[in-house]
Structure 1
Amino acid sequence: MQQNEAEYWITHLGLEAHPEGGYFKRSFASKEEISEKERKLYTSIYFLLRAGDVSHFHRLKSDELWYFHAGSSMSVHIIHENGEYEEAKLGLNLDKGEVPQVLVPKNSIFGSSLSEDKSFSLVGCMVAPGFEYEDFELFTQQDLLKDYPTHHEIISKLAYEEIPDFEK
């Protein structure tokens, strides 16, 4: 297998399907815990999207820092708490406006897609305080369109029509 193929990374990193879309594996978790509920200080995952995959719009109660690793660049689509939309390009081509790290502020609604739908993108995501499914919220198109109708185009691409059942 070639390192430029998504299946290489999925297999060799032991990635699993993620409920929001794409593939992931927790790579690090702090040994330190913060006082509330013995929560991890931070957690980190590998996250991979293949051509045609998207990470559906969701929200976390913690900041999430994204790091580019391999493949095509990725767009991180963010609807900030004030309702403003931002597309951040995660990648290494600085001349095209890409950056190797992107911060998604807590309580933002966000998802991601490949910038060029022809390959895959492997990134890392660190959440602080650490990720807990109880702080993870998925959205339907209907949920988002009532509050953000001006973002109809991206919402129709990245929000579920109906949230599927999944096991955590």
Structure 2
Amino acid sequence: MTTATYWIEQLALEPHAEGGYFKQTDRSDQTIETINGERPLYTSILFLLNTESPSHFHRLASDETWFYHEGTSLTVHCIFPDGRYKEIHLGKNIANNEYLSYTVPKGTIFGSSVKEDYALVSCVVAPGFDYQDFELFTQEQLLKDYPQHQAIIQALAYETIP
């Protein structure tokens, strides 16, 4: 049986600031001008989440497309700019409303979790990822604007940024 540890070691994944483990796999040589400056046309990573290390709530200035590969199903938890909350399930069980891929629109606050074991995905950000375009949130920050989503915010937002 393939384990999270196997993938972390074999793919040389490292801890990510938002949680989980990652490795950048591609970065476009082409660039594009954005309101935040010049960015690669796209970047991509391998990303592994497990029950001990979910992806905590954050926001990007670019769209991010997730592609499911391996493990148990994964839930992407989205708080859209209008305050709506939605769960998107990634996995291989299409008959159970799981998707093989999903694009999180820019400006959406989101995090991801697995209920058991681990999930391995790829994430492509376009225009490409830059830490200047990345916001990580605390529970206090999110509860101020979205008190109606208290349970998921307490589950997926840091009490204090590590």
Q: Do both share a fold (TM > 0.5)? A: yes
Kept after mapping to 1: 8 A contact 2:48/2:118: yes
**1:104, CA displacement in angstroms?**
0.4
Please tell me the residue identity of whatever aligns with 1:131.
F
**1:34, CA displacement in angstroms?**
1.2
Which of 130, 138, 141 matches 1:140?
138
Q: Which residue of 2 aligns with 1:91?
A: 91
Please tell me the residue identity of whatever aligns with 1:22.
G
**1:142, CA displacement in angstroms?**
0.5
Distance of 2:92 and 2:121 partners within structure 1: 12
Q: Which residue of 1 aligns with 2:124?
A: 126
Q: Which residue of 1 aligns with 2:150?
A: 152
Kept after mapping to 1: 8 A contact 2:79/2:109: yes
Which of 20, 29, 32 matches 1:31?
29
**1:6, CA displacement in angstroms?**
0.4
SS in structure 1 at match of 2:141: helix
Distance of 2:156 and 2:26 partners within structure 1: 27
Deviations 1:44-101 (A, max 9, x none): 0000012222110000000000000100010000000110001000111011110000
Identity %: 55
Q: Which residue of 2 aligns with 1:56?
A: 56
Distance of 2:61 and 2:33 partners within structure 1: 16
Distance of 2:27 and 2:106 partners within structure 1: 18
SS in structure 2 at match of 1:157: helix
Unaligned runs of 5+ in 1: none
CA RMSD of aligned residues (A): 1.0
Distance of 1:78 and 1:22 partners within structure 2: 17
Deviations 1:103-142 (A, max 9, x none): 100000000000x32x110000000000000000000001
Distance of 1:97 and 1:57 partners within structure 2: 23
Q: How many residues were matched structurally?
A: 160
Which of 22, 26, 39 matches 2:20?
22
Kept after mapping to 1: 8 A contact 2:54/2:113: yes
Q: Which residue of 2 aligns with 1:108?
A: 108
TM-score by length of 2: 0.96
TM-score by length of 1: 0.92
Q: Which residue of 2 aligns with 1:47?
A: 47
Please tell me the residue identity of whatever aligns with 2:101.
Q
Distance of 1:89 and 1:142 partners within structure 2: 26
Distance of 1:38 and 1:121 partners within structure 2: 32
Q: Which residue of 2 aligns with 1:74?
A: 74
Kept after mapping to 1: 8 A contact 2:65/2:103: yes
Q: Which residue of 1 aligns with 2:11?
A: 13
SS in structure 2 at match of 1:35: strand
